[in-house]
Amino acid sequence: MAQQTINFGTAPDGSGGDNRRAALEKLQGNDTELYGLVGAAQTGATAAQATANSAVAQISPSYIDGLRPQYVGPQAVTFSAGASYIPSLGTVVLSNAAIAKSGLALAANTTYHCYHFVNAGASDIRIVTTAPSAYRGNACTMTGDNSSRYIGSFRTNASAQIRPFVIGAGNDFFYTDAFTTVLTAGAATSATTVSLAGALPSTARAARVVLRNANPSVYATLGLPGSTLPANYLAVCSGGTYFTTTLACDSSQGIAYAMSGTGTGGLYIDVVGYQFER
């Protein structure tokens, strides 16, 4: 209904205006209408909040998008805009702009892990040496802190500088400065385990490697530890050749190799990157 206006009559005595009862009836009518509008607004807000809560509840607790580390310099890294589900909050936290971290004081030859968290009400990134651990499937948080969602790792060199890297499609991580050699002139003729743990973060489940067989007369087979080589192989490196491939690791981040015979030279394995879970 239209607003009911009280007639105050003619000053100074209000002659010709509404009496007390009529004035109060108009006030009551206005109040009733306002109360109804406020109630309807509250009902609508409650319904909207319920819809929002339902939408959040349908988001997977392992959800993550963006927040990809990008190498900037020896002591600087940037994280792209994105969002991640943070278990302690039970919701997704947005980062609408890239987050830059520079002037980092880092130790030499150390793996650092990056985590998305809420800092004083704002989306932020912390970079620490505390390793991640899984909380749902392959989704990880910082060990002992489910308010910090894992988003990636990097490693420093002997000069305490971040090793240059790029992240390709999916979660393919590549170092662009140097290889990490994990096997030199390997000559074992039975399945022998090679650990890649020193070259990979704990979240890596496959390694990008360069295989080089310096023995021209025999071939090398590679597979998972415990595999029967050469029968159950994942890759073969012919004598005198080299190539790049991706090899799955076991839970201890190991692979296995065996040479088909003896001779001069052996197998070299260099790690140039990895595929990781987050």
pLDDT at 7: 78
Q: What percent of the chain has pLDDT over 90?
A: 75
> 84-119 pLDDT, tens per residue?
999 999 999 999 999 999 999 999 999 999 999 999
Query: pTM value?
Result: 0.75
| pLDDT tens per residue, range 16-72 | 877 878 766 777 777 777 777 776 667 766 665 655 555 555 688 999 999 999 999
Q: How far apart (Å, rounded) are the C-alpha atoms in residues 1 and 27?
A: 13
Q: With helix as H, strand as E and coil as C, how does the chain read? A: CCCCCCCCCECCCCECCCCHHHHHHHHHHHHHHHHHHHHHHHHHHHHHHHHHHHHHHCCCCCCEEECCEEEEECCEEEECCEEEEECCCCEEEEECCCEEECCCCCCCCCEEEEEEEEECCEEEEEEECCCEEEEECCEEEECCEEEEEEEEEEEECCCCCECCEEECCCCEEEECCCCEEEEEEECCCCCEEEECHHHCCCCEEEEEEEEEECCCCCCEEEECCCCCCCCCCCEEECCCCEEEEEEECCCCCEEEEEECCCCCCCEEEEEEEEEECC
CA 28 remoteness from chain centre: 58
Q: Which domains does the chain have, with CATH numbers?
A: 1-58 (no CATH), 64-163 (no CATH), 174-276 (2.60.120)
